[in-house]
Structure 1
């Protein structure tokens, strides 16, 4: 018997706990039966086939994904908000054999295999190797059309086990979140994690403070969120207080602002743990449940993962908690390549076998990591200094007038790049010019003079993607 029972071991063994998605609940046995019906319908496909899943936050999506994995075919999650051009690209690039579950309204010419939560069939395991592909997950496409990231069953299984170790995650837990089901955070961790480990799952449909509070009152012990979710909870004291009985709060996909970390601690009694990963690597670094928690620090490498920092010339960067370098990782959770893109795959790896994340970070002597941001937009080279945008952003968020901010480097004939801060205020300023000067001085005093913004631009909102990450390319 292959790795599928190893990937979804609790579900396959009949020991999975109930799964609730946006108010619809299936027991573990019912979910296995519904997914087995999908697997039966897909059994005639060649094992190399890919299938598309319109990944709405519904039970139908869970049944479709699990059924395809049980059948041993590759899942291509399609974001439900994909525009016409993006949808054409994803389908043309991945060439799926069919849709599993509901298809989007735009005609694609592909047949559809139903994923009915009410259907039932007997589960018949199939042979699947850890090296077989489980997913093709598409990147955000910030530097061109989205690329398909090929992820194996073995990579997913190893990552979930490593996170179970880091977070003390067991079948006694009930995970709650309202994250999208087409990426690593919401789908791989947030759905397959419970199905592998036997914990319960409550997907709230939308990640509202009220929905998280309801899940907590119903017995959820773990909560996943992105910084936007935690920020909204920080502004909803009554809802946040309901999470006091939880065991663990986890944040990812972007840095958690220091004021939000402190406010959540004040309201819930919990210090949020952060973690770091990419579509290409899954989660490689995580703050352990029994480890030191500090806002802005994402923890230590999970089991089996190695990390290192390199400068622009490939030389090692000191692990002193201050020096910034480009982060490289290696280990069993890494992707096997970009779908049909050998050129991009080759560029992503060093000659000695490390994956270039494209992120810049610093590593403390005790192994804890702090992610500064993307090398392309968050590493600012100004006046001969290498400056991390994230450090300045964290500082600005400590000022009482600042609600949100994003720092970018803009080409400058004298400095190379000048630091520009885009700031969303908590309330309108009576004198923006004076406030801009105050914020500049604040950063200079808190950090150092060369890290202060040369320009502060006030805005009503920052451009963000579906995960809450700021689209800095639109600012720069």
Structure 2
């Protein structure tokens, strides 16, 4: 099939280490043979679920399902019983591949040829985080996946000569679509470190590294591991905004200004910095190949981001995509600079704070807080306020003794006074999901 052209297409090289996960490797030929064996088992099924653990079995199961023409449903490895049951029922998965279900044997080999799915056929059903209700199944086609991975490959000069390293979950766009399918389509070897530990990244010898801000922050905390990445070609950060201090620290240690990019489950990657261009801290760059963007800006140039392009979802399970003339409302708040650079401020529901008639982006205040040498983590939200409408409220993890008033004054010296936090909570940790994103809906809950 076309999505895996770099691995299965005519003339593709048989690499002995096409995919390595947690130290176990499969050659190109072995991967294809094992995937064809799975394809033979599931052929005819409309949808097949895969327990997405960080393993060779997951890679083989996903590739096998795609080769068979089934819609593959990655089930998060940390899903609780209720979430797992919802995903399986809602997606209509006819079979579950993975531990405790139908096991995948990577030593089996299948053969023969299978008809290539049509570009409009469903390829993946990926479930959103469900922050506003039960998770929704996002349906991506073979065509949208191809467009998505080809666009980032063009932006990042990603070729078969690269060696990709990451340790991200295999049930999200970042880890699965980019981190597995992207590597297979490019024909570049993939090293998955099982977990994104700094020392494992340092030892992997990659040219291309993927990470989320938490990963890069932890790598910066181990300078020897960070310096080992100086031999790489490109470091890519995504899934959440990379704090400016982490960007600058990573550059100081590795000599690399990381590429930042923006995407969603529904859209794949639509905006990115480029391998052959500058990178600007706190910004995600420009639309990738085939993408148009617009920002419905009001005062301050901040507004909701809309995107249009060939990598958008086909729809949701049981309902069509809510597109307006092909445009998708992301629900994210952005600023588009006069020179075309995009900066993501945050989610409309949690990161656009309307206080005293001002529109304040939470990300800008978070960056200001993170510039304080004692601040390790920061999350900012708006909370109800009788006079202002919403008050800028910060939750901060500090590494040394620092008081609420000192942090408020620090922000006021760096930003407009009206942007300073009215309330600062000093906490031990911030609630995060598997991709390292802060779960702002939980701020103020029992964990604090």
TM superposition score category, shorter chain reference: over 0.9
Q: Whole-Å Cα distance in 1 between the matches of residues 149 and 211 of structure 2?
A: 17
- Residue 305 of structure 2 is matched in structure 1 by 327
Q: Whole-Å Cα distance in 2 between the matches of residues 341 and 401 of structure 1?
A: 47
- How far is the alpha carbon of 1:378 from its aligned partner? 0.1
TM-score normalised according to structure 1 size: 0.90
Superposed CA deviations along residues 70-108 of structure 1, whole A, max 9, x for unmatched, are 01110000011111111111111112110123346xxxx
- Residue 132 of structure 2 is matched in structure 1 by 143
- Residue 77 of structure 1 is matched in structure 2 by 74
Superposed CA deviations along residues 6-63 of structure 1, whole A, max 9, x for unmatched, are 21001112436421011110111110111011111222x25xx100000000000000
Say if 1:35 and 1:115, in contact at 8 Å, map to a contact too: no
Note the 1:270-285 alignment, pairs <5 A: 270-285=256-271
Superposed CA deviations along residues 262-308 of structure 1, whole A, max 9, x for unmatched, are 11111111111100000000000011011221221011000000000
Say if 1:55 and 1:182, in contact at 8 Å, map to a contact too: yes
- How far is the alpha carbon of 1:122 from its aligned partner? 1.8
Equivalent of 2:288, from 302, 306, 317?
302
Structure 1 residues 143 and 178: CA distance shift in structure 2, 3 A: same
Aligned-pair Cα RMSD in Å: 1.3
Q: Whole-Å Cα distance in 1 between the matches of residues 329 and 234 of structure 2?
A: 30
- Residue 185 of structure 1 is matched in structure 2 by 174
Structure 1 residues 178 and 16: CA distance shift in structure 2, 3 A: farther
- Alignment pair present for 1:473 and 2:446: no
- Residue 30 of structure 1 is matched in structure 2 by 30
* SS across alignment from 1:57: coil
Say if 2:48 and 2:70, in contact at 8 Å, map to a contact too: yes
* SS across alignment from 2:104: coil
Equivalent of 2:165, from 159, 168, 176?
176
Say if 2:5 and 2:184, in contact at 8 Å, map to a contact too: yes
Say if 2:42 and 2:48, in contact at 8 Å, map to a contact too: no
- Residue 360 of structure 1 is matched in structure 2 by 333
Equivalent of 2:61, from 48, 59, 64?
64
* SS across alignment from 1:202: strand
Q: Whole-Å Cα distance in 1 between the matches of residues 307 and 14 of structure 2?
A: 33
Gap regions ≥5 residues in structure 2: none
Say if 1:16 and 1:198, in contact at 8 Å, map to a contact too: no
Say if 1:38 and 1:68, in contact at 8 Å, map to a contact too: yes
Say if 1:177 and 1:190, in contact at 8 Å, map to a contact too: yes
Note the 1:397-436 alignment, pairs <5 A: 397-427=370-400, 429=401, 435-436=403-404
Q: Whole-Å Cα distance in 2 between the matches of residues 160 and 441 of structure 1?
A: 45
Note the 1:49-60 alignment, pairs <5 A: 49-60=46-57
Structure 1 residues 123 and 162: CA distance shift in structure 2, 3 A: farther
- Residue 314 of structure 1 is matched in structure 2 by none
Q: Whole-Å Cα distance in 1 between the matches of residues 53 and 233 of structure 2?
A: 28
Q: Whole-Å Cα distance in 2 between the matches of residues 235 and 172 of structure 1?
A: 30
Q: Whole-Å Cα distance in 1 between the matches of residues 162 and 137 of structure 2?
A: 32
The number of equivalent residue pairs is: 440
Q: Whole-Å Cα distance in 2 between the matches of residues 81 and 164 of structure 1?
A: 30
TM-score normalised according to structure 2 size: 0.96
Structure 1 residues 446 and 75: CA distance shift in structure 2, 3 A: same
Q: Whole-Å Cα distance in 1 between the matches of residues 360 and 13 of structure 2?
A: 50
* SS across alignment from 2:78: coil
Q: Whole-Å Cα distance in 1 between the matches of residues 266 and 311 of structure 2?
A: 8
* SS across alignment from 1:297: coil
- How far is the alpha carbon of 1:123 from its aligned partner? 4.3
Q: Whole-Å Cα distance in 2 between the matches of residues 128 and 55 of structure 1?
A: 23
- Residue 101 of structure 1 is matched in structure 2 by 98
- Alignment pair present for 1:287 and 2:276: no
Equivalent of 1:224, from 207, 210, 215?
210
Gap regions ≥5 residues in structure 1: 105-111, 312-316
Say if 1:53 and 1:103, in contact at 8 Å, map to a contact too: no
Q: Whole-Å Cα distance in 2 between the matches of residues 382 and 460 of structure 1?
A: 27
Greater Cα offset, 438-447 or 367-376: 438-447
- Alignment pair present for 1:236 and 2:232: no
- How far is the alpha carbon of 1:353 from its aligned partner? 3.1
